[in-house]
Amino acid sequence: MHQTTTITLKKQTLTYLCLGLFLLHGQETSAQENPNFIKKLIQKFVSSEKDSSRSASFMVLPAVGYAQETGLEYGIASTYNFYVDKQDLESRTSNITLIGTLTTKKQKNIKLTSDLWTKGNEYHILSELRYRDWPFNFYGIGNDTWKADEDYLDQKLYRIKLDGEKRFAPNFYAGVNMNYEHFQFQDMEAGGIYESPGVYGKEGGQYLALGVSALYDTRNNTTYTTNGFYGRAKYSYAPNFFGKDNFTGNQVEVDLRGFYPITKQLTVTAQGLYRGTYGKNVPFYVMRDLGGDMTMRGYYLGRYKDKNYLTAQAELRYRFHPRVGIAGFLGTGSTFSKQHDMRLLPSYGGGLRYFFSLEHNSSIRFDYAFGEQRPGEKRQSGFYLSISEAF
């Protein structure tokens, strides 16, 4: 599994402008210290030769944008890829990613994630720390919501996640996980759909979920896979630690992926994903969201929201140059529950890949995706600028 840092450009949200790209491999070097600095820098960007030193790579994407609800926004998205054991040729790529943005209206979004493989790939450790003080659009519960019902909310989110898995057999890992989330909301537009009685947890809340996971992973590479299988099942339970109307219940996730090489440059990939939340009274903030940059691209994340989410997608990836590739994708999916039947929606599009690290097969992903067109609305769509692949 790998973490993805994303800057999402959509009509419904803030539009970002990418200002630059900086790549640093290994130790820092200056032009004064090394007369071949410029030559080496160009080689890091355009050379098709892999660095034989198995060095680390560091990439930063500065971004700036403007939206009425946030004002001027500025920040960075960065990732650091490395091997825990450079001498072991079977060692998998580990990475640490950071995204942080601020706005002139004092909103903040800070997210630090890591995906670590220890020496000998004996342990797999995932973590996330996040603070988000940011507005978002709420459309109601279910998969039949409408743009006209868009309700503007202010949100504060505190999140701590930790997953640890140990290898017990070749390619098989099992472990434990912990997830703590604390939400606060403020309705910025009185009289909207957010005030409907079907929305539970309007004031926010918190929960601590503890669980177990199992992973079977035969991928030849964790960042840009061209051959292998990935299957992960995760279960967690949130006890009644905090009382009142805070979430108490179960969460389940099953993620299956297959990667099939046609030629050395051409790969067919597929993913099936299920996420479910179970409990007597499920607050809207722990329901499953359809959309975003990972699955069901083309939809605003949270446009459709419910207790369960099921999706399948496929990609055709063509890496015609060591540094450059293209991809086409299509998928379908739906949120659903006892109250709302499944309604499969389309997702399709394509994009460009630039590989900034040949050693780690790390890429920057530029995707444009289309979703459905509801009666009386424009077709849903979105542009995504992300670090690493969707799956």
Query: In CATH, what number is assigned to the domain containing residue 328?
Result: 2.40.160.50
Q: Fill in the DSSP letter of residue 280.
A: S
How many angstroms separate the Cα of 347 from the Cα of each of 235, 260, 287, 385, 391?
28, 21, 21, 17, 15
Exposed, middle or buried: residue 272 (CB in 10 Å: 0-12, 13-18, 19+)? middle
Q: In sequence order, what are the beta bridge partners of 139?
A: none
Q: pLDDT by residue (tens digit) across 173-206?
A: 999 999 999 999 999 888 899 999 889 999 899 9
* CA pair distance 253, 105, nearest whole angstrom: 36
Exposed, middle or buried: residue 27 (CB in 10 Å: 0-12, 13-18, 19+)? exposed
Q: pLDDT by residue (tens digit) across 130-177?
A: 999 999 999 999 999 999 999 999 999 999 999 999 999 999 999 999
Q: Fill in the DSSP letter of residue 382.
A: E
Tell me the pLDDT band of 41, cut-offs 50, 70 and 90. Answer: low
**For the chain, what's the residue count?**
391
* CA pair distance 323, 356, nearest whole angstrom: 7
* Beta carbons of 304 and 320 less than 8 angstroms apart: no
* CA pair distance 6, 14, nearest whole angstrom: 13
pLDDT mean over 341-366: 95
pLDDT mean over 297-324: 97
Number of domains in the chain: 1
Q: Fill in the DSSP letter of residue 201.
A: -
Q: pLDDT by residue (tens digit) across 64-80?
A: 777 777 788 899 989 99
Please enumerate in sequence order all residues whose Cβ is within 8 A of that of 211, keeping only pairs 6 or more positions apart, or say none: 176, 177, 178, 179, 234, 235, 236, 237, 251
Task: Name the residue among 127, 137, 144 with its Cα closest to residue 187.
Answer: 137
**338 alpha-carbon distance from chain centroid:** 28
Domain that holds residue 153: 5-387
Token output for 22: 């900086």
